[in-house]
Amino acid sequence: MATALAKAADGVQAVEHAARIEHVSKSFAGPAGQQLVLDDITLDVAPGEFVTLLGASGCGKSTLLNLVAGLDEPTAGSITTDGRPALMFQEHALFPWLTAGKNIELALKLRGVPKNERHGRAEELLELVRLKGAYGKRVHELSGGMRQRVALARALAQESKLLLMDEPFAALDAITRDVLHDELTRIWSETQLSVLFVTHNVREAVRLAQRVILLSSRPGRIAREWRVDIPQPRRIEDAAVAELSVEITEELRGEIRRHGQH
């Protein structure tokens, strides 16, 4: 996938954006012929920016994330990123026969990190996600929240500039999800990663993002976007978060009604 750079005034190549999505459409073959899932999506993610993609089920959020990840190709348009993105799914997808640390080491190995450096780096990443001492634990010994922390550490092990997250906290209970919101916000702030985060949870989107992008129902188009100027750290119960969430929810309901979904 292409990398987008801009020439700075001093002649040094500077990153212009973490991801650029230009007039992207995606169709899939169906019983009635080609079905348009995404239609003319244009979106930039700035370096260090946290963007959430929000929309009803089936609007193409995950499809768009897979295209940015390079797992599929758009039918039309182009996507460029600052290096290869890291992708984190809703399911942790950890190898159960490996320890937490060895799961992370596998990502380091694939990145070409020398064997004698992997253990120490895996320990550092576990500490970053607040799992110090969990290196030797097997997957079945970890809670759901701990497994997602290991999955996050494994994604961070790729040292990508762009982290793609596909509803990574959807299966967790509310308290665990809230704790991981705090941890993700902290890690994003410390690492200056760019994040493109898919969710159908409006409050989660407002809780985390600097910018919320609403996709219309199928075919997915950018219906509206919001800049979230609420200072971090935020709480999901904060009045400002709740107020903006109500506004976005009403817009989402309108999109669902317009497209006849129930």
- 93-132, pLDDT tens digit by residue? 889 999 999 999 999 999 899 999 999 999 999 999 999 9
Mean pLDDT across the stretch 184-190?
Answer: 92
Q: What angle do CA 195, 197, 201 make, to 5 degrees?
A: 145
Average pLDDT over residues 131-141: 92
pLDDT at 184 over 90: yes
CATH ID of 28-85+161-262, from 3.40.50.300, 3.20.20.370, 3.30.9.10, 3.30.565.60: 3.40.50.300
Q: Give me the pLDDT at residue 8, please.
A: 41
- Distance from C-alpha of 220 to C-alpha of 52, rounded to nearest angstrom: 15
- In the chain, the amino acid numbered 52 is T
Residue 141: both structure tokens together = 């010994």
Residue carrying structure tokens 């898919």: 198
Residue at token pair 């929240």: 145
Distance CA 241, CA 160 (A): 29
Q: Give the separation between CA 111 and CA 115, rounded to whole angstroms.
A: 11
Cα–Cα distance for residue pair 134/123, rounded to 1 Å: 8
Q: Which residues contact 253 (CB under 8 A, 6 or more apart)?
A: none
pLDDT at 56: 84
DSSP secondary structure letters along 27-91:
EEEETTEEEEEEEEEEEEE-TT-EEEEE-STTSSHHHHHHHHHTSS--SEEEEEESSPPEEE-SS
- Give dist(CA 1, CA 162) in Å, integer: 13
pTM score of the predicted model: 0.88
pLDDT in tens, 189-199: 998 899 999 99
Instruction: Dig out the tokens for 23 from the structure.
Output: 């007039």
Whole-number pLDDT of residue 183: 92
Quote the radius of gyration of the chain (alpha carbons, Å): 19
Q: Which helix (H) or strand (E) holds 146?
A: helix 144-156
- Of all residues in the chain, the percent with pLDDT exceeding 90 is 70
The domain limits of the chain are 28-85+161-262, 94-159
Describe the crossing of helices 100-110 and 144-156 by its angle, rounded to 10 degrees.
Answer: 20
Burial pattern 93-112, b for ≥16 Cβ within 10 A else e, equals: ebeeeebbbbbbbbbbeeee
**Averaged pLDDT for residues 133-138:** 93
